Amino acid sequence: MSWFRCIVGDVRGGGRLLRGLPQSPGLPQRTPRCFLSRGPGPGPPGPGLRTRVGVGLLVGGGLLAAWWFVDSEKRQNQRRRRVEQLKQVSLGQGVFSLLDHRGQRRTKADFLGRWVLLYFGFTHCPDICPEELDKLSAAVSALDRDASMPPVQPVFITVDPERDDAAALDRYVKDFHPRLIGLTGTPEEVKHAGRDYRVYASAGPKDEDGDYIVDHTILIYLISPDGLFLDYYNRMKSQDQITESVRNHIKNYEQLDPQPEGP
């Protein structure tokens, strides 16, 4: 109770009141300033100090909790805004329908619920596509070794449907990650899928053997289980950088779109 008396004693009116009160041996000395840290008289700091510390901690804790709550709300809003931005960019928003390397029809819906690393290329590619697919496969394998990570689905879509039929893709994907799915289709279907991801592709002139090189965008796309384009990796990104980036995306991923109800 002495701390209360201290505060009262500080205020002028209170001071006059205090001076009017009969002095008793237990009362502290009347001083113009009040040292709140001092307990009643020469004794050790009593409940007063403990109470003050307790209240201080409570207030501090409350402030911290409030700050954390506001901060997490802010982060949640930032993520929502980022998702909205990505939706605006509308990469990979369409529905593609292609044939996989085993001749099975696959649509975009088949890949929902899984993380996908996607690369566009062609089997007659001299060096870049094998290198990028090696990088992609190595990243997926590294993530496979991490038990806390869900399996990532590697996908290869051809930009050369004239030559890359299901059989050609079947031969090609064998050289990379065992889960790598190759996708092809009619030139229209393939063009549609490429347009969806704003992939540039241009076949060069044919030589005497009928061989040609297809110039195309060299990017690995990361797609979330919502089917949203989340990130991309160019030639400069190493296998480790891709692995780390995908790991972070998966860890920080929060499902902002509700899961569609299953049949």
Partner 1 sequence: MTAPNSSERKACWDARDQLWKCLDDNGDNAASCQKSQSEFEANCPAQWVKYFTKRREFLKYKDKMQTEGFKPAEGPRQPS
For the annotated binding site for Cu cation, the residues are 125, 129, 216
**CA-only gyration radius of the chain, Å:** 34
Distances (CA, A) of 132 to 156, 228, 236: 11, 22, 10
Q: Which residues are annotated as a binding site?
A: 125, 129, 216
Cβ closest to partner 1, residue 207 vs residue 254: 207
**Least Å from the CB of residue 213 to partner 1:** 6
* Among residues 126, 258, 262, 263, the one that binds partner 1 under rule CB under 8 A: 126
Contact flag: residue 73 with partner 1 (CB under 8 A) = no
What's the min distance (Å) between Cβ of 131 and partner 1? 10
State yes or no: residue 215 binds partner 1 (CB under 8 A): no
Query: Quick check: 211 binds partner 1 (CB under 8 A)?
Result: yes
209 binds partner 1 (CB under 8 A): yes
Exactly one of 130, 189, 191, 256 binds partner 1 (CB under 8 A); that residue is 130
* Residue type for position 120: F
Q: Are 222 and 246 in contact (CB under 8 A)?
A: yes
Q: Which two tokens stand for residue 191?
A: 């063009």
Of 29-37, 110-118, 123-131, 249-257, which part binds partner 1 (CB under 8 A)? 123-131
C-alpha torsion 150→156→157→161, nearest 10:
-150
Query: Residues 175, 198, 234, 257: which binds partner 1 (CB under 8 A)?
Result: 175
Q: Which residues within the stretch 189-208 sit at the binding site for partner 1 (CB under 8 A)?
A: 207-208
What are 203's strand-pairing partners?
214
Spatial strand order of the sheet with 229-233 comes to 105-107, 97-100, 181-184, 152-158, 115-121, 220-223, 229-233
Q: Under 8 Å CB-to-CB from 259, ≥6 apart: which residues? A: 113
Site string for partner 1, 33-52 (x = CB under 8 A): --------------------
Asked if residue 163 binds partner 1 (CB under 8 A), the reply is yes
Q: Does 124 bind partner 1 (CB under 8 A)?
A: yes
Cα torsion at 27, 31, 32, 36 (round to 10°)?
-70
Site size for partner 1 (CB under 8 A): 17
Show Cβ contacts of residue 217 under 8 Å, excluding neighbours closer than 6 positions: 120, 198, 199, 200, 201
Check binding of 123 to partner 1 (CB under 8 A): yes
Which residues of this chain interact with partner 1, rule CB under 8 A? 123-124, 126-127, 130, 163, 168, 171-172, 175, 207-213
